[in-house]
Amino acid sequence: MARGRFITFEGGEGAGKSTQVRFLVEALMRSGIDAIATREPGGAPGAELIRKLLVDGPEARWEPLAEAVLHFAARREHVVRTVWPALERGQWVVSDRFADSTMAYQGYGQGADRDAIRSLYRATLGDFAPDLTFVLDVPVPVGLARARAREGGVQSRYERMDPAMHERLRQGFLAIADSEPKRCVTLDAGIGAEAVQAQVRTLVGERLGMNFRG
């Protein structure tokens, strides 16, 4: 059985990642590909417990590097319990966030040491990486407004953080994508969900040899 593919969606708050994950999994399933949707932090029972520690509470709840350690603890559970077994079964896994988010949020946004974050990556994931990553880019005020509307005005811990931090992490995502063009593609998330999905399907076809039906 052929190994599955691992696709991730990255970007700031309100960029539309969860919508694009759902659209892509549905398109893959219609085309005869067994695919699952997952998320970070979370995606496995233990990782979901850690998620509650990360997304709830006051903005300054964690020192940035300690926060990165928590993210990688959750990520290790996620890949061991969910991602790797699915890929071995031949499933395609589509994730709302992965390790780029830790580098963008804790590294670029909150100032944690980026070399330490890279060391955490190597220790927990080795050389494992997504086959394809979409970075959905949207201006910070637009993304935060979308996130507030989506949650009915209730904001997560990250959404309440300083807009300047969100601008730093936005630039971090763009820098990550620019540094890894073979893996990453940056898409304008302001053009509408359907238009973004059309671009996603085209790029999945070109880069991963997928022929969509319907």
What mean pLDDT do residues 160-168 have? Answer: 91
pLDDT score, position 148: 80
Q: Which of 171, 175, 88, 177 is nearest to 128 (CA)?
A: 88
Query: Domain holding 85: CATH number?
Result: 3.40.50.300
Domain assignment of residue 94, yes or no: yes
Boundaries of domain holding 108: 6-208
pLDDT score, position 88: 98
Q: Which of 80, 109, 83, 121 is nearest to 170 (CA)?
A: 109
Domain assignment of residue 1, yes or no: no
**Model confidence over 41-95: pLDDT tens digits?**
999 999 999 999 998 888 888 999 999 999 999 999 999 999 999 999 999 999 9
pLDDT score, position 193: 95
**Model confidence over 61-70: pLDDT tens digits?**
899 999 999 9
Q: Which of 13, 108, 126, 107 is nearest to 69 (CA)?
A: 107
Would you say residue 214 has pLDDT above 80?
Answer: no
Q: Which of 140, 131, 210, 133 is nearest to 170 (CA)?
A: 140
pLDDT score, position 153: 60
Domain assignment of residue 74, yes or no: yes
Domain assignment of residue 68, yes or no: yes
Domain assignment of residue 19, yes or no: yes
Domain assignment of residue 84, yes or no: yes
Q: Which of 212, 192, 180, 161 is nearest to 8 (CA)?
A: 180
pLDDT score, position 151: 62
Domain assignment of residue 95, yes or no: yes
**Model confidence over 138-156: pLDDT tens digits?**
999 888 888 888 766 667 7
How many domains does the chain contain in total? 1
**Model confidence over 93-130: pLDDT tens digits?**
999 999 999 999 999 999 999 999 999 999 999 999 99
Domain assignment of residue 214, yes or no: no
pLDDT score, position 154: 64
What mean pLDDT do residues 186-193 have? Answer: 96
